[in-house]
Amino acid sequence: MKIYAEITGWGKCLPPAIMTNDDLATFLDTSDEWIRTRTGIEERRVSHVGTSHLATVAARNALAAADLDPNELDLIIVGTCTADEIIPNVASAVQRDIGAKYAAAFDLNAACSSFLYGMHYATQAIRTGVHKKVLIIGAERLTRILDWTQRESAVLFGDGAGAMVLEATTEEVGLLASHVTCDADARDVLALEFGMSFDRFGFDGIMPFNFVGQEIFKRAVKGMSLAVEKVFAETGLTTADIDSLIPHQANKRLIDFLAKMCHVPEEKTVINIQKYGNTSSATLPIAFCEAVEQGIVKPGDTIVSAVFGGGLTCGAGIIRWGQRVTPKRDNTMQLPSNGQSALDLILPLHLQTKAAWEKRGE
């Protein structure tokens, strides 16, 4: 009998502080008009807590939706490129904080593609019988690593987390086909040079963010198109079989391109980039969660997804939703505000980085 990996739980966590485009224009040479028309973004969230905290709230919401005892989890995967520490990983903090003491726990960094990468490998583990119940999370606190003097990249990103519970089933549901790739020739076009190769003795507060937007855009279109074609070929499905599109949210123009390619109308395409910007690995699970909450995903629907991110990693998947679209228990837990606005949280970072650039004479 064939085994599949059903999505039985879904949850998200968006920090409460909102940074609008107009807020950004108070300290960057940019405008609401430029950001809105080039990217589709209107506002994004800024977290006052660490990535593990965001991940834990999203995880608790997903477990509530599945009504699953954390002790039943075999594995926790956290997709992130903004781990609070290098060691230990974020997944171990989540394991401790949700009380999943029998679960293996690791982080996965494929930048914005991390969540789909996580679904790909978790689904394989369930389908081969290695694991039965897996929690996958995408969580990011990108606002801590951005260069807040660099308008080209600072306006694009935001913080958040999303999660899914996958459980073994004999119903033909979950990730039916997926394809993940990496176009490493372009690994430098999206790079944050801050890691073990970093000179900590010469650190002056600047974390150089290399970002070649147009090159990323071109390669993202090519990579996602190929990945989508692959998953259609693997399943034998066509665009006529697709009920909705849930893509990565990096640029509204990229989402429109995918919708056209997959023949999915606007009302069946999940778009939340205007509210959150690009939350990297958190984007996909937040979008899935909202698609279910808003009734875009219906019982038994077939969904196509496509992602890309630093690496340049890329991927696509075809997902069949199960029969349940309502959470078993309330899954709307949120982070409380600590009273700080988004500008309160970001302005000190902007001023510190600006002063460091001035000291360098650049």
Active site residues: 112, 248, 278
**Which residues of this chain interact with ligand ACO, rule CB under 6 A?**
30, 34-35, 38-39, 111-112, 151-152, 155-156, 190, 213-214, 216-217, 250-251, 278, 280, 309-310
Least distance (Å) between residue 179 CB and ligand ACO: 18
Query: CA-to-CA distance for 43 and 158, rounded, in angstroms?
Result: 9
Least distance (Å) between residue 309 CB and ligand ACO: 4
Least distance (Å) between residue 16 CB and ligand ACO: 24
Given the complex with ligand ACO, which of 246 and 250 has the nearer CB atom?
Answer: 250
Least distance (Å) between residue 73 CB and ligand ACO: 28
Contact predicate 55/80, CB 8 Å: yes
With CA atoms as reference, report the closest residue to 237 among 176, 291, 299, 305: 176
Given the complex with ligand ACO, which of 150 and 235 has the nearer CB atom?
Answer: 150
Q: In the chain, where does DSSP find H-type helix?
A: 21-24, 32-39, 51-66, 90-98, 114-127, 151-154, 213-235, 252-261, 273-276, 283-293, 342-360
Least distance (Å) between residue 146 CB and ligand ACO: 11
Given the complex with ligand ACO, which of 38 and 127 has the nearer CB atom?
Answer: 38
With CA atoms as reference, report the closest residue to 222 among 301, 90, 314, 330: 314
Three-state SS at 303: strand
State which residue has the least CB distance to ligand ACO.
213
Contact predicate 91/77, CB 8 Å: yes
With CA atoms as reference, report the closest residue to 343 among 74, 14, 26: 26
Q: What is the largest CA-CA distance in the chain?
A: 67
Query: CA-to-CA distance for 108 and 181, rounded, in angstroms?
Result: 15
Given the complex with ligand ACO, which of 100 and 186 has the nearer CB atom?
Answer: 186
Given the complex with ligand ACO, which of 95 and 149 has the nearer CB atom?
Answer: 149
Residues 6 or more apart in contact with residue 279 via CB below 8 angstroms: 44, 45, 138, 140, 142, 157, 158, 159, 160, 249, 286
Given the complex with ligand ACO, which of 64 and 112 has the nearer CB atom?
Answer: 112
What are residue 168's DSSP bridge partners?
5
Query: CA-to-CA distance for 217 and 278, rounded, in angstroms?
Result: 14
- For the four alpha carbons of 319, 325, 328 and 329, in that order, the dihedral sign comes to positive
Query: CA-to-CA distance for 207 and 143, rounded, in angstroms?
Result: 12
Given the complex with ligand ACO, which of 61 and 251 has the nearer CB atom?
Answer: 251
Three-state SS at 193: coil
